[in-house]
Amino acid sequence: TRSLLRSPKGFPKLKNDSFLRAARGEHTEHTPVWCMRQAGRYLPEFRETRASQDFFATCRSPKLCCELTLQPLRRFPLDAAIIFSDILVVPQALGMEVIMVPGKGPTFTEPLKEVEDLLKLRQKVDVTAELGYVFQAITLTRHSLEGKVPLIGFSGAPWTLMSYMIEGGGSTTMAKAKSWLYRHPEASHRLLRLLADVIIDYLVGQVAAGAQALQLFESHAGHLGPELFQDFALPYIRDIAQAVKSKLKEEALPLVPMIIFAKDAHYALRDLAHAGYEVVGLDWTIRPQEARAQIGKDVTLQGNLDPCALYAPKEKIGELVKKMLEGFGTQRYIANLGHGLYPDMNPEHVGAFVEAVHAHSRHINKH
């Protein structure tokens, strides 16, 4: 059986496809729900599994990634799983060293400082050689899910990855990375193109390994205004959707739904609606009705409860979920938070969120 678990074939039949149906704009009995960072430090079992291991060593262990991906599904009736990994595995594949510093987060030992530093990056990346451990984790997890819910694969988007590679970690202003866009536009495009090419192969590889949907995280979109986004983010976001789809066709792989989540980019929602993604993810800073008006009826929306709402009492969480569902409507909609779960959140409140989405959406659908 061991070899079977490793083969991206003969996957168990999917039992709950509500997430995929909503992504494709088909009718669902209830509104599907999952949470960004659902496999995370808010779960004691996650902290236990992760305790002895370096973070990126965990990412490189298919067995641990599988276990961490499954943990939240044992607790909550979520409608999708998302593979446990990190967006910074792509810069690692380009040859950069990233370490997880306790209390500080991901840190690049040698960030990109000058344009010449681009020459240090691998110009051609064999994603199977560099990121095969993610593909193995996806295949193992897809089998281990036993068809319970679909499995989502993901990647960071080019601008978000570029900003980390230049800043060397998190930043409140992204001033170093943005200075490249103004001072070195050509070199910036070279780097973004290199990243996009790796991301395209990486996402296609995830589908080949068994991912049933893909999410692209443009987490740092909010640091760009409309002009910079138009020049340095949107073209690559569009290109990734188009290229992934044409490669999936070429390789006779399933055409899986794709989600774009560009945090704090309300200024670009109309463009994102036409960027080639079936689903547009939203943060909590926009009203559901406004988002729907800008995005139109042909794209599914995902989001957007303020993660901090989960600190509220459970009854209040239920009220907020009901209001959110009334704003978005229960169809062509996937419930989620407007960003990831925080480590100090109470798992019971996460459960209350998931159950409220199911209960209220079923009630609205009946009436």
pLDDT digits (tens, 9 = 90+) for 176-189: 999 999 999 999 99
Q: What are the helix (H) ranges across the chain? A: 2-6, 18-24, 44-50, 55-59, 62-75, 89-93, 127-144, 158-167, 175-183, 185-209, 226-228, 234-250, 269-273, 288-295, 314-328, 347-366
Confidence band for 5, pLDDT divided at 50, 70 and 90:
low
Choose the weakest-confidence range: 5-14, 17-26, 84-93, 160-169.
Answer: 5-14
Is pLDDT of 1 > 90? no
CA separation for the pair 220, 177 (Å, rounded):
11
Please determine, for residue 3, whether its predicted confidence score (pLDDT) is greater than 60.
Answer: no
Active site residue 47: no
Give yes or no: 164 in active site. Answer: yes
Computed over every residue of the chain, the mean pLDDT equals 97
- Reported as a single tens digit per residue, the pLDDT across 47-70 is 999 988 899 999 999 999 999 999
Q: Dump pLDDT digits (tens) for 201-219.
A: 999 999 999 999 999 999 9
Q: Which of 21, 42, 50, 142 is catalytic?
A: 50
pTM over 0.95: yes
Could you tell me the residue ranges of all domains in the chain?
32-366
Fold topology of 32-366: TIM Barrel (3.20.20)
Q: Is 193 a catalytic residue?
A: no
Which one from 17, 42, 79, 164 is the annotated catalytic residue? 164
Average confidence (pLDDT) over 347-360: 98
Q: Tell me what percent of the residues of the chain surpass a pLDDT of 70.
A: 98
24, 75, 86, 311: the active-site residue? 86
Instruction: Please pick, among 17, 21, 37, 236, the residue that the annotation labels catalytic.
Output: 37
State the amino acid at position 354 in one-letter form: V
Q: State the catalytic residue, choosing from 41, 190, 193, 238.
A: 41
- d(CA 360, CA 77) in angstroms, rounded, equals 15
Apex 246 CA angle, 242 and 249, nearest 5:
145
Asked if 21 contacts 300 with a C-beta cutoff of 8 angstroms, the reply is no
Amino acid identity for residue 277 in this structure: Y
pLDDT digits (tens, 9 = 90+) for 250-270: 999 999 999 999 999 999 999
